[in-house]
């Protein structure tokens, strides 16, 4: 059977041009269930031998190891409760919001997003993809508002781009170079990267923690709620 020129032949030895982790995932159907179980066990053992990782190391395998370590040690995010919320009058279009709850499996900060305008922010999750929600819906135990040292019109353009991502798909492992899917951190990174500001220069898959460490952002608001 012939194939269109842009579709890889199914009999080829495997996908090429993909990051190592994606090549492994693409080959999983060809691995027997027993071998797959041994592979998973080996990955878990290596992750645990490596010791704790308070900060997520760069690279696909580093990110996978951090998820495994934190997950096996009880690193699951506590369900949302009556925590603190942010007054929309304290933010401007283009501001970056960081939210924290204890037990996050991929770092200190649980979520990051960008303020649009009119009291709205960019919402993101696996079920709904990318959508708009109110600033007051951003409820966490600890909230920070960060603002790039850029003119207001530049920050407004970043916010306008972020709004164009509404209704696009969310994928937890989306990389910077994949234009089809997004994460909370990648959407914020891209909004400012288009304006010439690279807030996460050293990682292919941005995480909320990266923005907490970015020197190009200044702290505007820092509030802590309570744990019920």
Give the model confidence (pLDDT) of 109-130 as tens digits. Answer: 999 999 999 999 999 988 889 9
Among the listed ranges 62-66, 116-120, 156-160, 184-188, which one has the minimum average pLDDT value?
62-66
What pLDDT was estimated at residue 53? 46
pLDDT digits (tens, 9 = 90+) for 18-27: 555 556 556 5
Residue 85 three-state SS: coil
- pTM, two decimals, is 0.68
Residue 100, class by beta-carbon neighbours within 10 Å (0-12 exposed, 13-18 middle, 19+ buried)?
Answer: buried
- Name residues whose C-beta falls within 8 Å of residue 17's C-beta, 6 or more positions apart in sequence: none
What pLDDT was estimated at residue 228? 40
Q: What is the mean pLDDT of residues 169-191?
A: 93
What pLDDT was estimated at residue 106? 78
Q: Are 168 and 130 in contact (CB under 8 A)?
A: yes
Determine whether domain 88-224 maps to CATH 3.90.1720.10. Answer: yes
Compute the mean pLDDT over every residue in the chain, rounded to the nearest whole number: 78
d(CA 187, CA 196): 15
What pLDDT was estimated at residue 119? 92
Domains of the chain by residue range:
1-76, 88-224
Pairwise pLDDT comparison (194 vs 227), residue with the higher score = 194
Q: Is a pLDDT exceeding 50 seen at residue 3?
A: no
Residue 31 three-state SS: coil
pLDDT digits (tens, 9 = 90+) for 37-75: 666 666 555 544 554 444 555 555 555 555 555 444 444
Pairwise pLDDT comparison (9 vs 62), residue with the higher score = 62
């Amino acid at each position: 059977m012939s194939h269109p020129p842009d579709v890889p032949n199914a009999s080829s030895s495997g996908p090429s041009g993909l990051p190592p982790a994606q090549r492994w995932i693409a080959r999983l159907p060809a691995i027997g269930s027993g071998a797959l179980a041994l592979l998973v066990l080996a990955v878990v053992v290596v992750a645990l031998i490596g010791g704790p990782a308070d900060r997520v190391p760069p690279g696909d395998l580093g990110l996978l190891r951090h998820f495994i370590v934190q997950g096996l040690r009880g690193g699951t995010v506590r369900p949302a409760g009556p925590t603190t919320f942010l007054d929309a009058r304290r933010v401007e279009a283009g501001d970056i919001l960081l939210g924290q709850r204890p037990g996050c499996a991929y770092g200190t900060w649980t979520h990051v997003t960008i303020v649009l305008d009119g009291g709205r922010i960019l919402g993101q999750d696996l079920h709904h993809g990318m959508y708009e929600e109110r600033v007051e819906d951003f409820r966490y135990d600890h909230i920070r508002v960060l603002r790039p040292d850029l003119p207001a019109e530049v920050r407004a353009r970043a916010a306008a781009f972020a709004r164009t991502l509404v209704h696009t798909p969310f994928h937890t492992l989306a990389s910077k170079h994949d234009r089809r899917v997004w994460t909370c951190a990648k959407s914020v990174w891209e909004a400012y990267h288009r304006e010439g500001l690279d807030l996460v220069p050293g990682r292919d898959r941005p995480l909320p923690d990266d923005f907490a460490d970015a020197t190009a952002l200044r702290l505007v608001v820092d509030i802590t709620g309570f744990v019920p």
